[in-house]
Amino acid sequence: MIIYLTPFNIVKCKDTRARTVHLNKLKNVYRASKDNLNTLFIISDTSVKNSITTSITHIQREQTLITKATYHAMNISSTEAELFAIRCGISQAIYITIIVVTDAIPAAKRIFNMSCHPFQLHSIAISRDLRIFFNKDPRNSITFWDCPSDDEWPPYHLVDKESKTSKFYPTQQNVLGL
């Protein structure tokens, strides 16, 4: 199922029988980006372990990693962390086509939800970044691709694995304030 929110697209596959076709389409888009200098892939995933949320974002151009960001936070939801990771990727976008690959399409849909919700601050910030992005060039577009972790599409699988195995060692605050 594709929901068109021009110039936004959300490509989500709900039917497990159609997942192979969906994944092949994503692979074709990714393959085509090798020769397209104006396409930026933002591949992000989040995991929560022991109240520590880890978000990993890979930003790729021409199938080459240009930026990798790792974020750790305590006591936040995975939705909030996903929105933050998407926001960080979009804020760096200077290309005509942005493709965000995530397993958190419900979180991505929050970006376009202007009603009150707990993640509204992220939605407003992302909307501001997108407004700047779209005002730069009328050809600019963004597409969100659903990629569940169990599909094991190699670029996403790498990010998913990193988010689940990333180590975070919080520093202990000195009780005396010293």
CATH assignment at residue 67? 3.30.420.10
Residue 60 within any structural domain of the chain: yes
> What does the pLDDT look like over 88-139, one tens digit per residue?
777 777 778 889 998 888 888 877 777 776 777 777 888 888 888 888 888 8
Give me the domain span that covers residue 67.
2-165
Per the domain annotation, does 82 fall within a domain? Answer: yes
pLDDT, averaged across the chain: 81
The percent of residues above 70 in pLDDT, for the chain, comes to 89
Phi and psi torsions of 129, nearest 5°: -60, -40
Integer distance in angstroms from the first to the last C-alpha of the chain?
A: 56
The pLDDT value recorded for residue 173 is 53
Q: Is residue 76 part of a domain?
A: yes
pLDDT for 178 equals: 46
Phi-psi region of 119 (alpha: psi -120 to 50; beta: other; left: phi over 0): alpha
Question: What total number of domains does the chain contain?
Answer: 1
**β-sheet with 64-74: strand ranges across:** 2-5, 8-11, 141-146, 97-102, 39-49, 52-61, 64-74
**Identity (one letter) of the amino acid at 77?**
S
Domain assignment of residue 178, yes or no: no
Task: State residue 65's pLDDT score.
Answer: 92
In a domain, 170, yes or no: no
Residue 174 lies in a domain: no
173 falls within a domain: no
Residue 24 lies in a domain: yes
pLDDT tens for each residue of the chain, 178 residues long: 444 345 667 888 777 778 888 888 999 999 999 988 889 899 999 888 888 888 888 999 899 999 898 888 888 888 888 888 888 777 777 778 889 998 888 888 877 777 776 777 777 888 888 888 888 888 888 899 998 888 778 999 999 999 888 877 655 554 444 4
